[in-house]
A and B are shown apart, each in its own frame.
Chain A
Amino acid sequence: MAAVARNTAGGPPSAGKIFQFKLVLLGEAAVGKSSLVLRFVKGHFHEYQESTIGAAFLTQTVCLDETTVKFEIWDTAGQERYHSLAPMYYRGAQAAIIVYDITNQESFNKAKAWVRELQRQANPNIVIALTGNKADLVNKRTVEYEEAQAYADEQGLLFLETSAKSGVNVNELFLAIAKKLPKTEPAGTRGQGQTVNVNAAAEESKGGCCGGGGGSASAAPGGAARN
Chain B
Amino acid sequence: MTQRPRKLSSVEESRHTALENVKKTWIEIDHLLAPLSADVILGDDAGARRSSLSSHSVVPQIVLDLMSQHVLDKLNRLFDKVISSLAAAVARIQLRNSPSPSWECMDADLGQSIMSPPATTVPSGNQVILLEDDVLEYVIEQNILIRTLGYSIHPLCPDAAALQLRWNLLRIFETLVSSCLKDPRLLSHESILVPLLGLFDVCTGKRDEQTDRKMMAVMNELTYCLKQAPDLLPFFVEVEPEVADAPSKEIRDLRILSYLYPHIHNSGETGQLARSAVLAVLRIIQSEDDLNRHVAEKSDFCGILVSGLCAFYLSLPHKCFSAFSPGWHRINPYDVTCSLELQHFTEYVEFCNAVMKLSHPVVQEEFTKRFRNHFLLPVVTQALTQFSDEEVMAATAYFDYILRTLEDSRLRACIFAYLVGTSSGERNIMDHLVGNILHASSRLSTVTLAFFQTLLDMNYEPLLDYLILRFLNEARPFLSTSNDDGDVFDDLALAQELLQLIPAACQLLDFDLDSGVGTGEPAASPSALKKFFGKKSSERPAPVESPREPPLTLPAYTDYLLAARCKLKECWEACAAATDGDRERDSLTAISVRKTISLFPDLELHGVNFVGPFVASLLFRLDHLLDDQNIYLSLQLTGLISRLLVYPHPQIWNFLFSRNDNVQESGKFLLQILTTLKTAIDLIIPKSNLGKAVIKRTYRTLLLRTVKADSPTFENGPAGSQHLLSPADKSPSKMSGFFGRKSPTETPEETVVNSIFTEASAAIPESVEFSSTSPRYRRGSVITANTPDAGRMRHAAYAAVILSEFSQELAAICQERVLRTLLPSPTD
A98 in contact (CB, < 8 A): no
Choice from B72, B110, B122, B159 contacting A202 with Cβ under 8 Å? B159
Q: Mark B738-753, 1 if CB is under 8 A from A, else 0.
A: 0000000000000000
B545 in contact (CB, < 8 A): no
Instruction: Provide the bound-state CA to CA distance between A224 and B178, in Å.
Output: 22
Pairwise interchain contact B224-A221, C-beta atoms closer than 8 A? no
Min CB–CB distance A96 → chain B (angstroms)? 16
Instruction: Provide the bound-state CA to CA distance between A59 and B126, in Å.
Output: 28
Choice from B129, B224, B333 contacting A58 with Cβ under 8 Å? B224
Q: Which of B467-526 contact A (CB under 8 A)?
A: none
Choice from A16, A87, A178, A221 contacting B164 with Cβ under 8 Å? A221
Min CB–CB distance B257 → chain A (angstroms)? 16
Contact of A61 with B340 at beta-carbon distance under 8 Å, contacts A54-B354, A211-B315 already known = no
Chain B, interface SS category: helix
Pairwise interchain contact B94-A198, C-beta atoms closer than 8 A? no
> CB-CB < 8 A to B163: which residues of A?
196, 201, 221-222
> CB-CB < 8 A to B221: which residues of A?
58-59
Contact of A1 with B94 at beta-carbon distance under 8 Å, contacts A6-B128, A54-B276 already known = yes
Choice from B83, B131, B209 contacting A227 with Cβ under 8 Å? B83
Contact of A3 with B87 at beta-carbon distance under 8 Å, contacts A84-B336, A85-B346 already known = yes
- Closest partner residue, chain B, to A8 (CB atom): B126
Among A4, A58, A65, which residue has the most Cβ atoms of chain B within 10 A?
A4
> CB-CB < 8 A to A56: which residues of B?
220, 276
B263 in contact (CB, < 8 A): yes
Q: Mark A189-227, 1 if CB is under 8 A from B, else 0.
A: 000110110100110111111111111111111111111
Pairwise interchain contact A217-B268, C-beta atoms closer than 8 A? yes
In this complex, how many residues of chain A approach chain B with their Cβ under 8 Å: the count is 90
> CB-CB < 8 A to B82: which residues of A?
15
Binds A, one of B33-41, B166-174, B594-602, B668-676: B166-174
Choice from A92, A207, A221 contacting B262 with Cβ under 8 Å? A207
Pairwise interchain contact A222-B269, C-beta atoms closer than 8 A? no
Q: Mark A143-168, 1 if CB is under 8 A from B, else 0.
A: 00000000000000000000000111
Contact of A217 with B81 at beta-carbon distance under 8 Å, contacts A88-B344, A175-B115 already known = no
Pairwise interchain contact B275-A217, C-beta atoms closer than 8 A? no
> CB-CB < 8 A to B344: which residues of A?
88, 210
- Closest partner residue, chain A, to B273 (CB atom): A57
Contact of A224 with B266 at beta-carbon distance under 8 Å, contacts A1-B98, A61-B91, A219-B210 already known = no
> CB-CB < 8 A to A218: which residues of B?
213
Q: Which of A53-70 contact B (CB under 8 A)?
A: 53-65, 68, 70
Min CB–CB distance B101 → chain A (angstroms)? 2
> CB-CB < 8 A to B101: which residues of A?
39, 166-168, 170-171
> CB-CB < 8 A to A14: which residues of B?
84
Q: Mark B104-125, 1 if CB is under 8 A from A, else 0.
A: 1001001111111000001000
- Closest partner residue, chain B, to A216 (CB atom): B269
Q: Mark B783-813, 1 if CB is under 8 A from A, else 0.
A: 0000000000000000000000000000000
Min CB–CB distance B351 → chain A (angstroms)? 6
> CB-CB < 8 A to A217: which residues of B?
209-210, 212-213, 268-270
Pairwise interchain contact B343-A15, C-beta atoms closer than 8 A? no
Q: Which of B268-284 contact A (CB under 8 A)?
A: 268-273, 275-276, 279
B330 in contact (CB, < 8 A): no
B interface bracket (residues with beta carbon within 8 Å of A)? 35 or more
Among B83, B90, B354, which residue has the most Cβ atoms of chain A within 10 A?
B83
B9 in contact (CB, < 8 A): no
Pairwise interchain contact A168-B346, C-beta atoms closer than 8 A? no
A140 in contact (CB, < 8 A): no
Pairwise interchain contact B333-A84, C-beta atoms closer than 8 A? yes
Instruction: Provide the bound-state CA to CA distance between A198 and B268, in Å.
Output: 22
Q: Which of A1-56 contact B (CB under 8 A)?
A: 1-9, 12-18, 39, 41-45, 53-56
Min CB–CB distance A219 → chain B (angstroms)? 7
Contact of A84 with B87 at beta-carbon distance under 8 Å, contacts A41-B178, A64-B113, A201-B160 already known = no
Choice from A166, A178, A204, A214 contacting B113 with Cβ under 8 Å? A178
Pairwise interchain contact A15-B211, C-beta atoms closer than 8 A? no
Instruction: Provide the bound-state CA to CA distance between A91 and B164, in Å.
Output: 27
Instruction: Provide the bound-state CA to CA distance between A205 and B275, in Å.
Output: 18
Pairwise interchain contact B347-A88, C-beta atoms closer than 8 A? yes
> CB-CB < 8 A to B171: which residues of A?
227
Choice from B122, B167, B178, B351 contacting A6 with Cβ under 8 Å? B122
> CB-CB < 8 A to A185: which residues of B?
none
B127 in contact (CB, < 8 A): yes
A176 in contact (CB, < 8 A): yes
Choice from B92, B110, B126, B262 contacting A175 with Cβ under 8 Å? B110
Min CB–CB distance B457 → chain A (angstroms)? 16
> CB-CB < 8 A to B174: which residues of A?
59
B18 in contact (CB, < 8 A): yes
Instruction: Provide the bound-state CA to CA distance between A222 and B113, in Å.
Output: 31
Contact of A4 with B122 at beta-carbon distance under 8 Å, contacts A41-B178, A61-B91, A178-B113 already known = yes
> CB-CB < 8 A to B312: which residues of A?
210
> CB-CB < 8 A to B207: which residues of A?
204-206
Beyond contacts A4-B88, A61-B91: 11 other A-B pairs, Cβ-Cβ < 8 A, are A4-B129, A15-B84, A53-B353, A54-B275, A85-B343, A169-B104, A196-B160, A198-B160, A201-B163, A209-B265, A221-B164
9 smallest beta-carbon distances between A and B, as pairs? A214-B268, A167-B101, A2-B115, A43-B98, A3-B91, A15-B84, A15-B81, A222-B164, A210-B267
